[in-house]
Amino acid sequence: MPAVSNRALHLGTENAFVVLAEVNARIRAGHDVISFCIGQPDFPTPGNIQDAAVAAIRGGKHGYTPSAGIDELRQAIAADIRRTRGLEVEPSDVVVGAGAKPFIGYSVLSTTDYGAGDEVIYPNPGFPIYDSQIRVNGAVPVPISLRESRQFNFDPNELADRITPKTKLLILNSPQNPTGGIIPRAEMEAIAEILRRHEQVWVFADEIYGRLVYEGEFVSIATLPGMLERTIISDGCSKTWAMTGWRLGFVANRKLAPYLTTWITNTESCASQISQWAAVEALNGPQTEAKRMRDIFLQRRDLIVKLLNGVPGVTCQSPGGAFYAWPNVTEACRMIGAADSEEFRKRLLSEAGVAVLADIHFGPRVQGEGQHIRFSYAASTEAIEKGIGRMADFVRRNTR
Ligand SMILES: Cc1ncc(COP(=O)(O)O)c(C=O)c1O
């Protein structure tokens, strides 16, 4: 039997999918489960966007496109980046892909060399694909801890300590998955100040939740002096317009655009043309539905945070963006005799029928930060009320 490569054997994944399989198995076995696992809007894609996709199919616009995307979409994205961030970005700086996710790997591949000891700094807890793409592409992962006491930001001094001559890339994510935290302007300026002392460092600014901000302002690091040239601005349609399955993301960076384009030529060739026309409509068309979804997320955020803070042994900060809540369950674990957040999660699922993810699904637990679980509140008001009610009963019932 031929062997599987070491690289494939050790490839990381999104553990959310593993938990999801567990949840689905329980549902198939007839259990009643309320799930807060999935990081995708629970709304249909707005009708005008659906219509644009149908028109593309009917109009014969369904063949390959240039790898970087159709001109109309690259223009719409450049205009959108100008509108939302006030940045001068040309359509030729923009590359369109099958979701924002592939650009994480392409950016690591375009800024580091395999096995050369090139380091990439990224947030922990964080989107697990950062870690897996850094490792599989032969770079050195350098996690930086997010702290609850800093509203889930890292300490810029820790960043300064971690940068070495080998640091090639810094990944930032604001608003953040899994904590919902936002990097405020003052922190972003402190980060930029440090980076100015290290001109070899690129920035991958994961701004996929940039339009789901409920408090404070969204700040792109690319808007700070000297940062645009070195920042890969990453955004997409998945979260803002409820288009996760359409697979449409995009990045902007003048110097790297040709290389990111060539990676796409080597892999998926181009994003689906149908989704590209849908994205043109998403960006250029009316924003009423996107605003409505955002307003509903805000209401749900307020509801879930209030309810979670009423659960014995649980405290939850109010996240500034995205659609995740990241409650601290350290005391609740102690109360019910759970060794850690993962045992808490498993028991919450099997004994209370509530599915969430645990902190360890987003990287190694940060020492001294306690135990956390993640709720995606891309779920109905009824599900939130019922789910958190079940969780409160579960903790009360099991308190020793
Ligand atoms: C932080 C972060 N970046 C990127 C992505 C990927 O988005 P897309 O669906 O556009 O590939 C996600 C999706 O969950 C995410 O949470």
Contact, 350 vs 358, CB < 8 A?
A: no
Contact status, residue 238 vs residue 208, Cβ threshold 8 Å: yes
pLDDT in tens, 55-84: 999 999 999 999 999 999 999 999 999 999
Nearest residue to 206 (alpha-carbon basis) of 165, 178, 246, 166 = 178
What percent of the chain shows pLDDT beyond 70? 100
Pocket test for ligand 1, best of 106, 239, 251 (most atoms within 8 A of CB): 239
Mean pLDDT value across residues 149-175 = 97
Q: Please tell me the pTM assigned to this model.
A: 0.97
Ligand 1 midpoint to CA 302 (Å): 23
Give distance in angstroms: CA of 300 to centre of ligand 1. 21
Asked if 217 and 185 touch (Cβ cutoff 8 Å), the reply is yes
Q: Return the best residue to mutate from 182, 238, 267 for the ligand 1 pocket (most ligand atoms within 8 A of CB).
A: 238
Ligand 1 centre to CA of 104 (Å) is 9
pLDDT of 20 higher than 90: no
Tell which atom from ligand 1 comes closest to the C-alpha of 40: 14
Nearest CA, atom 5, ligand 1 = 101
Kindly give the distance from the C-alpha atom of residue 335 to the centroid of ligand 1, in angstroms, as a whole number.
35
At 18 the pLDDT is 83
Please tell me the predicted confidence (pLDDT) of residue 245.
Answer: 96
Secondary structure E strands in the chain: 34-35, 94-97, 119-124, 140-145, 167-173, 202-206, 231-236, 249-252, 324-325, 354-355, 357-358, 373-376
Nearest CA to ligand 1 atom 6: 101
Taking alpha carbons only, the member of 144, 79, 91, 137 closest to residue 283 is 79
Ligand 1 centre from 220 Cα, in Å? 17
Q: Where are the alpha helices (DSSP H) in 137-203?
A: 156-162, 185-196
Question: Which pLDDT score, from 0 to 100, does residue 10 have?
Answer: 92
pLDDT at 373 over 90: yes
Using CA of residue 89, residue 234, residue 148, residue 300, what is the dihedral sign? positive
Which atom in ligand 1 lies closest to the alpha carbon of residue 248? 10
pLDDT tens-digit readout, 379-393:
999 999 999 999 999
Cα 237 → chain centroid: 12
Say yes or no to pLDDT of 16 above 90: no
Q: Which of 95, 130, 179, 208 to mutate to test the pocket of ligand 1 (most atoms within 8 A of CB)?
A: 208
Pocket test residue of 96, 104, 106, 127 for ligand 1, highest count of atoms within 8 A of CB: 127
In terms of Cα–Cα distance, which of 105, 162, 110, 97 is closest to 130?
Answer: 105
21-35, 55-69, 83-97, 165-179: segment of lowest average pLDDT:
21-35
Contact between residue 360 and residue 342 where contact means Cβ atoms under 8 Å apart: yes
Cα 374 versus chain centre, distance? 13
Q: Judge whether residue 38 has pLDDT over 90.
A: no
Q: How far apart are CA 9 and CA 15, in angstroms?
A: 15
Lining ligand 1 with CB less than 6 A are: 39, 99-101, 127, 173, 177, 206, 208, 236, 238, 244, 249
Fold annotation for 63-284:
Aspartate Aminotransferase; domain 2 (3.40.640)
CA of 209 to the centre of ligand 1 (A): 9
Q: How far does residue 238's CA lie from ligand 1's centre (Å)?
A: 7
Burial class (CB in 10 A: 0-12, 13-18, 19+), 76: buried
- CATH topology for 6-31+289-398 is Aspartate Aminotransferase, domain 1 (3.90.1150)
Domain ranges of the chain: 6-31+289-398, 63-284
- 353-387 in b/e form (b: 16+ CB < 10 A) is bbbbbbbbbbbebbeebbbbbbbbbbbeeebbebb
What is the three-state SS of 377-395? CCCCHHHHHHHHHHHHHHH
What pLDDT is attached to residue 17?
Answer: 81
